[in-house]
Amino acid sequence: MIIETYDLTRKYGKLVAVNKVNLTIEDGEVFGLLGPNGAGKTTLISMLCTILKPTSGTAKVNGYDIVKQQPQVRKSIGIVFQDPSLDDRLTGRENLEMHSALYGVPKNERKKRIDSVLELVGLTDKQDIIVRNYSGGMKRRLEIARGLIHYPKVLFLDEPTLGLDPQTREHIWAYIKNLSEKENITIVLTTHYMDEADILCDRVAIIDYGEIKVLGTPEALKGKLEGEVLILDTNDGEKLKKKIETLSFIKKIDVRGNELRVAVKGSEKYLPKIIDVAKQCNVSIESISIRKPTLSDVFLHYTGREIREEMGNVKEIMKAHARRWVR
């Protein structure tokens, strides 16, 4: 195991951001922490990166204790922060040269290593452009290259595609999928994009309110939700929900405005019964679709909620600690 946590906990006063997390991550895997903003993903990653000290418990990264052996942990990891942290007055190559010097990459290896990571993220032909003229996707790729410059054993990616357009997100996914094999490293990424975790990760852990709700491969987690999801477009979602939520064959109901998402096993058998109930209570069903469970359904099943806004005080605390660590 490249990462092991032991009752890892972080509190901010009465707020428990991470609550006694016990987690193991295998060497070489792509591991995802899936959850809404404010769930504890960034706090957990920050402790593993030694940016934050645990309130209690500890963890080992590459065999080093995150409390007692911080320098060794930092040499073992690379980080791509959620917020941009490049010097936009330098070129792409100059950013990598500065970072390789800070991390002690031997001078006789720097040029070869920089050339290698630039090629890996597809920026060889853009290396001499000032970073302020990079697109959002190019900046993200350069940050990934910078995180790899010192041969880390573990690369932490905190919301690696946040704010990027769909096409650029897919390009970043392609680069991430190649990293683990080509660089022989473990990748740990946080995300609240369900499709991102499904495509990229060997295993995912769903975290909410600082606790791991469930862990497994994307396929195994989706497989736990037996049945299908019925999506009903109605003229009164709440009214229909109240009428059908007590039916024995209903596993889960989510209301989004007038749209109902109903988890049910045996949709063909039970759909007519739902339609009959709707008619009896004068609710009009405009359209019906059926699909297999997704990670979004898994998340809803284990947390009972949709994505929510992150609590501002925690985010500001995290940013302050990150700035202090960089200095």
CATH number for the domain that contains residue 261: 3.30.70.100
Residues 226-243, mean pLDDT to the nearest whole number = 88
Check whether residue 238 and residue 212 sit in a common domain: no
Between 318 and 164, the higher pLDDT residue: 164
pLDDT value, residue 306:
53
Residue 187 domain-assigned (yes or no): yes
Do 319 and 83 touch, CB atoms closer than 8 A? yes
What is the average pLDDT score of the chain? 87
Which range has highest mean pLDDT (64-78, 82-96, 157-171)?
Answer: 64-78
Check whether residue 286 and residue 320 sit in a common domain: no
Check whether residue 114 and residue 20 sit in a common domain: yes
Q: What domain range includes position 239?
A: 226-292
Check whether residue 172 and residue 235 sit in a common domain: no
Residue 114 domain-assigned (yes or no): yes
Check whether residue 52 and residue 201 sit in a common domain: yes
What pLDDT, in 10s, does the model give residues 50-73?
999 999 999 999 999 999 999 999
Residue 200 domain-assigned (yes or no): yes
Check whether residue 159 and residue 249 sit in a common domain: no
pLDDT value, residue 308:
46
Check whether residue 143 and residue 182 sit in a common domain: yes
Check whether residue 174 and residue 93 sit in a common domain: yes
What pLDDT, in 10s, does the model give residues 263-319?
888 787 888 999 999 999 999 999 999 888 888 888 887 877 654 433 444 444 445
Lowest mean pLDDT among 75-79, 166-170, 203-207, 286-290: 166-170
Please check the confidence at residue 226 and state whether its pLDDT lies above 80. no
Between 74 and 246, the higher pLDDT residue: 74
Residue 162 domain-assigned (yes or no): yes
Between 84 and 16, the higher pLDDT residue: 16
Q: How many domains does the chain have?
A: 2
Check whether residue 201 and residue 152 sit in a common domain: yes
Residue 279 domain-assigned (yes or no): yes
pLDDT value, residue 293:
84
pLDDT value, residue 191:
85
Residues 215-221, mean pLDDT to the nearest whole number = 94
Check whether residue 9 and residue 148 sit in a common domain: yes
Residue 302 domain-assigned (yes or no): no
Check whether residue 62 and residue 173 sit in a common domain: yes
Distance, CA of 43 to CA of 101 (rounded, Å): 28
Residue 257 domain-assigned (yes or no): yes
pLDDT value, residue 312:
41
Please check the confidence at residue 320 and state whether its pLDDT lies above 70. no
